[in-house]
Amino acid sequence: MADAVLFAIDDRGVATITLNRPERLNAINMAMRDLLWEFLQACRDHPDVRAVCFRGEGRAFSAGADISEFGTAPSLLEARRARHERDVWGLMLSLPVPLVARMHGFCFGAGLELPLCCDVRVAEEGTQFALPEVTLGYIPSAGGTQTLPRTIPPGAAADLILTGEPVGTEEALRWGLITKAVPAAELDEAVEEELGRVLAEPFAPKPPRL
């Protein structure tokens, strides 16, 4: 069985982290969180890493958290402890290198919150973006209530958070949710262009926003 998250570093110093559960639309389970934590630590500690690119295999970047695992923790305290000990989103925000997200298909829930922790977001035209947690009776729990209104207009952020309704690339681009939207055939080229740009420019890390 293939690893649920793939990791590679190329000769430019670009670390690529790939969500690799295409059969589940890259729904993020605890095993994936653990791997993301491990690979992000490697990006933080490896002296040659100059940028990080996030991708998703298959039809979607990520459909969000794997709800089949909800309620399976031994206790609420254990679930909270795991989140505090492996704060994936806080670690992303603290990395001293630029982060680029390659987005396509569905970017729902944690599949949108992860790119919101990135500096550049490039999306395929037709991609759908949503924070649907409210429709399941809870709130975005990977920082979306903080990162989204700091990225797009507060009213638009409130609408996404409170309704759970998806928006497309036209609205996302107009609001600043994504940096660029391109046809599917041009997505990889556009991501490479953005990686080239961030590698060529001095990068001043932003302070953690959560």
Q: Which residues contact 193 (CB under 8 A, 6 or more apart)?
A: none
**Model confidence pLDDT, tens digit, residues 123-179:** 999 999 999 988 888 788 788 899 999 999 999 999 999 999 999 999 999 999 999
Mean pLDDT of the chain, nearest integer: 90
User: Is residue 197 within a helix (H) or strand (E), and if so which, with residue range?
Assistant: helix 187-200
pLDDT computed for residue 75 by the predictor: 54
CA–CA dist 12, 43 (Å, integer) = 13
Q: What are the chain's domains?
A: 5-200 (3.90.226.10)
Residue 2: band (very low, low, confident or very high) from pLDDT cuts 50, 70, 90? confident
pLDDT of residue 40 exceeding 80, the answer is yes
Q: From residue 95, how far is each of 32, 59, 104, 171, 201 by CA, in Å?
A: 19, 28, 24, 29, 16
pLDDT of residue 201: 84
120-124 and 180-182 as β-strands: parallel, antiparallel, unpaired?
Answer: parallel
Look at residue 25 and tell me whether its pLDDT is greater than 60. yes
pLDDT of residue 205: 62
Residue with tokens 């961030």: 198
Strand 5-9 to strand 180-182: parallel, antiparallel, or no bridges (unpaired)?
unpaired
205 DSSP assignment: P
- In angstroms, the Cα distances linking 38 to 7, 12, 41, 114, 141 are 10, 21, 5, 15, 20
Model confidence pLDDT, tens digit, residues 42-77: 999 999 999 999 999 999 999 998 876 554 555 555
SS3 153: coil
pTM for the whole structure: 0.90
- 14 vs 67, higher pLDDT: 14
**Tokens of residue 206, six digits:** 């932003």
pLDDT at position 67: 72
- Section 190-203 average pLDDT: 93
Question: Which pLDDT does position 135 carry in this prediction?
Answer: 85
CB-based contacts of 90, cutoff 8 Å, min separation 6: 208, 210
Range 181-210 average pLDDT: 86
- Where in the sequence numbering do the catalytic residues fall? 113, 133
CB atoms near residue 17 (< 10 Å): 23
